[in-house]
Structure 1
């Protein structure tokens, strides 16, 4: 029995890892979220991925419009602001890389020959 003693910790961890997902899946149907709708999630995803937001890249007008859309959604559902100065926003700085050339994606066959070429824009 002592030769297995060093494996007890690993066996317990393995049991926990196996049992917890089963418990979560078992209780998944019993959790109800008031006002949650998969249709609403779909509509929001479709809205934010629409071309009018122009990709929502950080620092662009499309990003500002997307932030406003989400902010309005938060207000509509009664979510209290928890950001800077009583808003839904907080300061955020992000380093971004820019590339001034043409973005291209090339599909190559196993010999390295270009089969198809896609250009951005």
Structure 2
């Protein structure tokens, strides 16, 4: 394990993340394409409970490797992705042909200093 690096040390990700709809994630083992829509609410509640457990660990801000986010950084990312997709869902309900601004996860991580956030606040 390595100590937390400054947030600006995050290496930008250039992957096309649409592949997650077709394949299992090698990092977290989640298979989004296999999830039925009706199962999503229960999954979200279950994941929220698991994040609450992770965010109280004393090493939550420690990166397992310099280029791999810490659990705290991943939790911040999940929180912010939930907000982004929630706003997009609201636009889809309100507009016939909504357009979505590009969201740069790495810029968000740097600007919000994911690795320095308070785990209790992130868990709330």
Give the TM-score normalised by the residue count of structure 2.
0.26
Greater Rg over alpha carbons, structure? 1
Q: Which has the higher contact order (CA 8 A, sep 6+)?
A: 2
More strand by share: 1
